[in-house]
Amino acid sequence: GLYFAPPTSAENREEDVVVAGLGRFDLAVTGREPKPTPLSDVQAALDEARRSHPQDVIVATLDGSFVADAGPTGLRLPPNTCVVLDGSISAATDEPGHRKSPQGRITQLVLMPAEGVASIAGGVLDGSLLPQHVVNAPGAAVVVLDGVTVRRSGANAITTKERHNLSRPMFVRGCRVTDNAGRGIWVHVCRSVHAIANVCTGNGADGIDFDAYGRNSTALFNTCTGNRRHGVFVEEPGTADNTIYANRLHGNRSHEICLYNSSKTKPLARNLLACNDCAGDPTRTAISVRALMHDNVLFNNVCRAGKLIGGLWSSRDTYVAQNVTDVAPKTVTGIGPFFCTPGPQPIMKTDER
């Protein structure tokens, strides 16, 4: 199997092995002050390092401020490249080619490679509301984002698509994903993507979205608050075998957690929602489970006064049990058990005589 130990902002010793069987080449690029260094300088340094050290993992330490100055793709990480960012990378706001339009918008601020391994640790990636994605991670590379602030994408902050190999996972851990125009973390047609202990707040759509055919993935210990749609969204046909566990989901505009499927032929199936705290706002829907789905489990989630809606048309064998609510579930249809544990009841005092 693959041994990959990406450097972090706290642990970046030059003697550490990053990938078993490969050497390591360390590269340092310092941003100029007060004007940020163009990303094209970083790109040239990474490309030259890749040519000169084809059998090594490049560990690039970027110190200072950098700006996307040219091209539609921002920074393109070569295969087997790790970045430790002590500073920021941002999209240029004053370049004529970076208008906020489909024609002028850069595609992403950072493009992950399609093979090998890649990581970014620390620092700030700021899209200035211009690129479609701040981080775009298509293909089959093993990707790690660790402790990065990812903000102000023109659409979705962290996007991964067409990732099918269970042995080539992606991890987003300890990141702050905030103030993006669309989703915070978007997993689409993928397997083995893991969002762990992130804060996703103030995004224009969902904090975390497992979209169509998103499988074998997890959202663990995340905090998703103040997003304009759902805290966690599990949606569309073929989305299966995902685990949404021990997340804190409060104050999201639509639902704290939503399971939804627009298909009437292929189900959303075998997803586990357990031990999530959705108890923030009694005016909102804590958990919504709707449309064609089979064999999902909602267990031991705390909803309190937030509504738990089970509109399970064309559904079967979805098990909803021991969720703490202060209101009865409504619109419960479909085939299969649906139980809720009531919240604490108020103590009734008798009139004193």
- Predicted local distance difference test score (pLDDT) of residue 214: 92
Which of 45-54, 93-102, 114-123, 222-231 shows the lowest mean pLDDT across its residues?
A: 93-102
Q: Which of 86-90, 281-285, 344-348 has the lowest mean pLDDT?
A: 344-348
Residue 41 has pLDDT above 90, yes or no: yes
| 161-180 confidence digits (pLDDT tens) | 999 888 899 999 999 999 99
341, pLDDT greater than 60: no
Hey, what amino acid is at 40? S
To the nearest 10°, report the CA torsion of 227, 73, 164, 242.
-10
One-letter amino acid at 249 equals L
Q: Please, which pLDDT band fits residue 72 given cuts at 50, 70 and 90?
A: confident
pTM exceeds cut of 0.85: yes
Average the pLDDT over each of 12-21, 34-43, 313-322 and give the range with the smallest value: 313-322
Alpha carbons within 13 A on the beta-carbon side of 171: 17
| Position 330 pLDDT exceeds 50 | no
Type and span of the H or E element at 50: helix 39-52
Instruction: Tell me phi and psi for residue 50, to 5 degrees.
Output: -65, -40
| pLDDT higher than threshold 80 for residue 130 | yes
Contact present, 294 and 272 (Cβ < 8 Å): no
Q: What percent of the chain has pLDDT over 70?
A: 86
pLDDT (0 to 100) of residue 345: 46
Torsion of CA 57, 62, 67, 72, to 10 degrees: 10
Predicted pLDDT of residue 342: 56
pLDDT at 346 over 50: no
Higher pLDDT, 241 or 344: 241
Residues 6+ apart with CB under 8 A from 251: 225, 226, 280, 281, 284
Arithmetic mean of pLDDT over the chain: 87
User: Cβ(158)–Cβ(145) under 8 Å?
Assistant: yes
301 vs 80: which has the higher pLDDT:
80
Which pLDDT tens digit goes with each residue over 48-63? Answer: 999 999 999 999 999 9
Listed in sequence order, the residues at least 6 apart from 42 whose beta carbon sits closer than 8 Å to its beta carbon are: 29, 60, 62, 66, 75
Q: Which residues contact 343 (CB under 8 A, 6 or more apart)?
A: 304, 305, 324, 325, 326
Q: Above 50 in pLDDT, residue 333?
A: no
- pLDDT (0 to 100) of residue 96: 45
